[in-house]
Amino acid sequence: MALFFCWSLAALTINYLPYFYPVQKTFLQNIFLLLAINILIKPLYIFGIDAQVQNAVGASSYGIYFTLFNFCYLFQVILDCGIQNFNSRHVAQNKSSVFDHFSFVAGTKLFLVVIFLFAVFAGALIVGFPDTYYTLLFWVSGIMILNAFQMYLRSHFSALGDYRMESWLSSLDKGIMILVIGYFIYVEKNISIPIFLKGQLCSVMLAILITAILLNFKFRLSLRFSLKRMKALLKQSFPFAVVFLLMTLYTRMDAVMLERILKDEGVASGIYAAGYRILDAGNMLGYLFALLLLPMFSDLLGRQKNVNQLVGVAAKLLLSFTALTCLIAWFYCTEIMDLIYVDATPEYANVFKYLMVSFFAMTLSYVYGALITASGRLRTFNLIFVVGIVINWGLNLLLIPSLEALGAVYSTLATQFFVFFAQVVLASSRFNLKIHQQDVLNVVALLGIYFAIVYYVKAYLPVNWMIQVLSIGIIGIIVSFLLGFLRFNIDFLETNDTVHEQ
């Protein structure tokens, strides 16, 4: 399925690339490098390392770690405060002052680390985590801090125009983790959550050291403090922080609420994590797709060009991929869970197949979210996230006590589809997006044919299920092409059509 996605992404770029300026062509070439590196390294880490840790320590122990990880992630906005997005734009526009800017931002981030640690442990006291959690919480907090600093250092390469180095460094920490933690899993055959956390910590520290050495060739790294500069920086980056905070609150609370409401020593959270891990892996592709769409939309809106065709092309590509992925996950949920997890039960499969339905809405949201973000008008966008938080938390409180992990899944489903449809409505009204009747009929036809393909291949093709899935993917590409979902004639950049935001 990852190859299906890459082929689709290539189709979009090949059609669009001839109209791009040289600097934009360079950016797109490095997006392909970024995509290739992430598809190679991150799934290997997720399934070869992370999933195997859960297999070794069990759902309960891993569920506690997953709960604490998501709990700390809720406070991640303190470590960043929107600085990374603001910093990338500022450095790109003011390359000559990068040395001076870096020294004060680095000082600000150290100040934010202190606030982050205080907030995490104060929050832990408020929610009532038992004393046995605090050592793990300390290690998880350390990993979060180092990850945030590694991402900040990395962002300078793309801001300074070195996109290729940024692409190579994007998975450096995960590559080191595969070697370090993989040694304990596959050679020593001795892994535990503390070893897993210390392995992550050491790996990120090494990644930071390598990144800092490489960055020092660009400019001299230093550290300075200024309360005045700190206040100005945080004020400028605040709008970016709000978006990140709201998205985090409705996507990362499920595991925390599962553990706190059920108090089952992390068992339900571990089962939820087993399915969410695969959802997160697939979501990576959608995120990378958004990285490509954002500059395209920004370019079109900046020149007041019509965005209808690009939205349609991107939506068709993602719909082709996500619909087939969701159906495969639904019909082959048991086989997939048994392949990855040694202690998988029917509950694992049930949670996974419903959770993957939300993948459809989550991935397609990237198209409309990128468009809205490119416009720079975020107030209504943030309001959508606020309502999403209310829906998610409310449903979790209502459903988790009786349905446990499946209750959190239903909450995620409702939230993701609400956010998706709300973004479609907002983008359609703001940019006059048009949905033609023929497009609707084609979507219905594609979904119907996809369903028939998956159903009949699983029921009547007497081969190994992995070969069945491969066959479904190949047939899916052919069907998508025949229905026009993978054939484009993008000529909107040469037209004089303009778009006016409403």
- Please write down the long-range contacts of 447-453, taking CB distance under 8 Å and 24 or more positions apart: 447/323, 449/479, 449/483, 450/323, 450/324, 450/327, 450/476, 450/479, 451/327, 453/479
Burial of 221 (0-12, 13-18, 19+ CB in 10 A): middle
pLDDT, residue 134, reads 93
Q: How far apart are CA 370 and CA 389, in angstroms?
A: 20
Give the mean pLDDT of 325-340.
Answer: 94
Give the mean pLDDT of 94-119.
Answer: 76
What does residue 65 show for φ and ψ, rounded to 5 degrees?
-60, -45
Which is more confident, 157 or 460? 460
Could you read off the pLDDT of 33-47 as tens digits, one per residue? 666 777 778 888 988
Are the C-beta atoms of residues 208 and 49 closer than 8 Å to each other? no
Kindly report the number of other CB atoms within 10 A of residue 469's CB atom: 19
Residue 202 pLDDT > 60:
yes
Give me the amino acid identity at 486: L
pLDDT, residue 491, reads 46
Q: How far apart are CA 109 and CA 223, in angstroms?
A: 10
Burial of 27 (0-12, 13-18, 19+ CB in 10 A): middle
pLDDT, residue 398, reads 95
Q: How far apart are CA 101 and CA 95, in angstroms?
A: 10
CA–CA–CA angle 54, 55, 56 (5° rounding): 90
321: Cβ contacts below 8 Å, ≥ 6 apart: 1, 4, 5, 8, 285, 363
pLDDT, residue 242, reads 76
Residue burial 180-189, b: 16+ Cβ < 10 Å; e: rest = bbbebbeeee
Could you read off the pLDDT of 434-475 as tens digits, one per residue? 777 777 888 899 999 999 999 999 999 999 999 999 999 999
Take residue 52 and report the two structure tokens written for it: 């195997």
